[in-house]
Chains A and B, each alone.
Chain A
């Protein structure tokens, strides 16, 4: 086993770190405060290849591995968690079209997505179905060469601004086998958006409902066959979970650095904070948790790259562990800053607010446990 980065990986990481330090970090607090979606900066990121990291080269992608992508999202999140996380969703949606789309769909949509001339959103969740995504009810009824869509998608990152909505809809009977995946362009008649949600974190990207009322989408926009939509949505999420885990790692890295620096400056009871053993131990635990989370995330990415039968299991484990650790580390870093940690003038409270949602979306951490347990008990049943 080799735990060192290859020369290429070090170069990708360096490129992402530099970009994050120069183009994201200086603005992250302001974007959070004013709920600004930094489209211009994301397009700059796209110029460097960050909008189609694991999309094929013929359509402008960078054709790198999931492990490379994890390193890149970790580095980007060190600059701005919420913007890095949106880029991860855009990458996931683009990859689904690359992996499961036909030649026409790839050529029609991907060049604009890899350059971020167009922005993509991923639409699975509905007001009445989140964790139980296979219960989705947005209906698509075939009418000649079109599908006619009715229903609503909830909590959609990028909604209202994105140009392309990769949307899971029901074309058949109940359950996962009745779901199909459609590319819905923003200018579709009958497509509208709810007001932007007011939320705890992830403020540099909009979240809103996507409402479909007799919206007509050509059958040619269906990705994969009818009934394959749920499988496609879940395949996207395996990689998405690694990326979200990586975003937690990056933010936790920032928080830990801030906490260590503060321990070297702030004095109480005539000593530096760093001289209190209680805080030394806290810092040691934070760094250890971070390292463990990092190793699990890279491991899961490797499994996905190797198409291991355990990839889904490893992705669920890494997502659960790294997003929990990421939240705890940011929260501990806030605690080490005392009252200052609670102020907007310091980045800690933003870090805590931003990484909190990583424990909820792309499958809640409870659902990660459901996936892990199902696999463990399934293997057990198969063995008996």
Chain B
């Protein structure tokens, strides 16, 4: 079985994100970029499945600019076998990403797609679900355990009430949650080996996907700064402020 793992290039989680002065988005120039942490978890899971003999090939896909190739290299250094770069300078929305993934899944015919439950830049939490819908596959979201058993998989999901274990038929789209595993570090020799692994390059157009956005961003703003508190003289003043300023009573 093949596993397809999309890996997104996002602003590194350690970076303090700054909004552009014109409110059109966030600053990405000269900012450290890394693989979306949930995607690292997906790659780790796929590589572990390969090490366990359940999976034959792990393919890492990134949809983004030329530099997204570095993110694919990271996945290859962690143990993925080959990469596909869907090159575009447009900022793709989850629906367009899902369409690209559907096109690649139609071509590669993997038994499983492991998608991060969300990307830490836009926090959409949509791509996995949309991809499953477009493909007409089963979906198992927020996975904390994945077990493959013949033509089925058993997936433990993190739900509000606790854990839920479901059985789904392959092929399936799984979205990975934080507790699925702890991703490994890429070792120096594996970083070197990753250079020799192939990366195919294609584009949304070649995959027959229209990358045009369906949403329009009106404004991006910093969260409001926390204002300092004030001291009140007595209970009467407190009640007055709660009623007339905070308007909570």
Chain A interface residues toward B at CB < 8 A: 7-8, 10-12, 14-15, 18-19, 21, 47-50, 53, 57, 62-64, 72
Name the residue on B nearest A7 (C-beta): B70
Q: Are A53 and B70 in contact (CB under 8 A)?
A: no
Which residues in A have their C-beta under 8 angstroms from that of B185? Answer: 15, 18-19, 48
Chain B interface residues toward A at CB < 8 A: 14, 34, 70, 73-74, 77, 185-189, 191-192, 195
Q: Are A15 and B70 in contact (CB under 8 A)?
A: no
Q: Are A49 and B73 in contact (CB under 8 A)?
A: no
A110 to B211, CA, bound (A): 53
Q: How close is B78's CB to chain A, nearest CB, in angstroms?
A: 11
Q: Are B187 and A11 in contact (CB under 8 A)?
A: no
Q: Are B186 and A15 in contact (CB under 8 A)?
A: yes
- Kindly identify which residue among B14, B191, B195 contacts A15, using a CB–CB cutoff of 8 Å: B191
Q: How close is B231's CB to chain A, nearest CB, in angstroms?
A: 19
A12 to B187, CA, bound (A): 8
Which residues in A have their C-beta under 8 angstroms from that of B14? Answer: 21
Q: How close is A33's CB to chain B, nearest CB, in angstroms?
A: 26
Q: Are B188 and A7 in contact (CB under 8 A)?
A: no
Q: How close is A93's CB to chain B, nearest CB, in angstroms?
A: 19
- Excluding A15-B191, A18-B185, 5 further A-B contacts by CB distance (< 8 Å) are A7-B73, A47-B187, A48-B186, A50-B188, A72-B188
Q: Are A64 and B73 in contact (CB under 8 A)?
A: no
A48 to B188, CA, bound (A): 6
Q: Are B189 and A14 in contact (CB under 8 A)?
A: no
Q: Are A49 and B189 in contact (CB under 8 A)?
A: yes
A36 to B15, CA, bound (A): 32
Q: How close is A235's CB to chain B, nearest CB, in angstroms?
A: 23
Q: Are A49 and B187 in contact (CB under 8 A)?
A: yes
Which residues in B have their C-beta under 8 angstroms from that of A50? Answer: 188
A57 to B192, CA, bound (A): 11
- Kindly identify which residue among A10, A18, A21, A62 contacts B188, using a CB–CB cutoff of 8 Å: A62
Q: How close is B230's CB to chain A, nearest CB, in angstroms?
A: 19
- Kindly identify which residue among A8, A53, A57 contacts B191, using a CB–CB cutoff of 8 Å: A8
A12 to B186, CA, bound (A): 9
- Kindly identify which residue among A14, A49, A57 contacts B34, using a CB–CB cutoff of 8 Å: A14
A72 to B70, CA, bound (A): 19
Residue in A11, A50, A62 with the greatest tally of chain B CB atoms within 10 Å: A11
A19 to B188, CA, bound (A): 12
Q: Are A49 and B70 in contact (CB under 8 A)?
A: no
- Kindly identify which residue among A8, A10, A14, A15 contacts B187, using a CB–CB cutoff of 8 Å: A15
Name the residue on B nearest A64 (C-beta): B188
Q: Are B77 and A62 in contact (CB under 8 A)?
A: no
Q: Are A12 and B188 in contact (CB under 8 A)?
A: yes
Which residues in A have their C-beta under 8 angstroms from that of B73? Answer: 7, 11
- Kindly identify which residue among A7, A21, A57 contacts B189, using a CB–CB cutoff of 8 Å: A57
| Known interface pairs A7-B70, A7-B73; A12-B191 also in contact (CB < 8 Å) | yes
Name the residue on A nearest B194 (C-beta): A11
A14 to B188, CA, bound (A): 11
A7 to B191, CA, bound (A): 10
A11 to B69, CA, bound (A): 12
Q: Are B186 and A11 in contact (CB under 8 A)?
A: yes
A345 to B83, CA, bound (A): 46
A50 to B187, CA, bound (A): 8
* A and B contact pairs by CB, cutoff 8 A, 26 listed: A7-B70, A7-B73, A8-B195, A11-B70, A11-B77, A11-B186, A12-B191, A15-B185, A15-B186, A15-B187, A15-B188, A15-B191, A18-B185, A21-B14, A48-B186, A49-B188, A50-B188, A53-B188, A57-B189, A62-B187, A62-B188, A62-B189, A62-B192, A63-B192, A64-B188, A72-B188
A11 to B33, CA, bound (A): 12
A313 to B185, CA, bound (A): 36
A348 to B187, CA, bound (A): 30
| Known interface pairs A7-B70, A7-B73; A48-B195 also in contact (CB < 8 Å) | no
A47 to B190, CA, bound (A): 11
> Can you list the 6 inter-chain pairs with the closest CB atoms, starting with the nearest?
A49-B188, A62-B188, A48-B187, A11-B191, A49-B187, A15-B186
A248 to B15, CA, bound (A): 24
A49 to B187, CA, bound (A): 6
Which residues in A have their C-beta under 8 angstroms from that of B77? Answer: 11
Q: How close is B249's CB to chain A, nearest CB, in angstroms?
A: 35
Name the residue on B nearest A72 (C-beta): B188
Which residues in B have their C-beta under 8 angstroms from that of A15? Answer: 185-188, 191
- Kindly identify which residue among A11, A19, A57, A72 contacts B74, using a CB–CB cutoff of 8 Å: A11
Which residues in B have their C-beta under 8 angstroms from that of A64? Answer: 188, 192
A203 to B230, CA, bound (A): 47
Name the residue on B nearest A53 (C-beta): B188
Name the residue on A nearest B182 (C-beta): A22
A64 to B188, CA, bound (A): 8
Which residues in A have their C-beta under 8 angstroms from that of B195? Answer: 8
A283 to B242, CA, bound (A): 45
Q: How close is B92's CB to chain A, nearest CB, in angstroms?
A: 24
Which residues in A have their C-beta under 8 angstroms from that of B188? Answer: 12, 15, 48-50, 53, 62, 64, 72
A48 to B191, CA, bound (A): 10
Q: How close is A144's CB to chain B, nearest CB, in angstroms?
A: 41
Which residues in B have their C-beta under 8 angstroms from that of A53? Answer: 188
A57 to B188, CA, bound (A): 11
Name the residue on A nearest B67 (C-beta): A7
A348 to B74, CA, bound (A): 34
A19 to B186, CA, bound (A): 10
Residue in B70, B185, B186, B188 with the greatest tally of chain A CB atoms within 10 Å: B188
A50 to B185, CA, bound (A): 12
Name the residue on A nearest B186 (C-beta): A15
Which residues in B have their C-beta under 8 angstroms from that of A57? Answer: 189
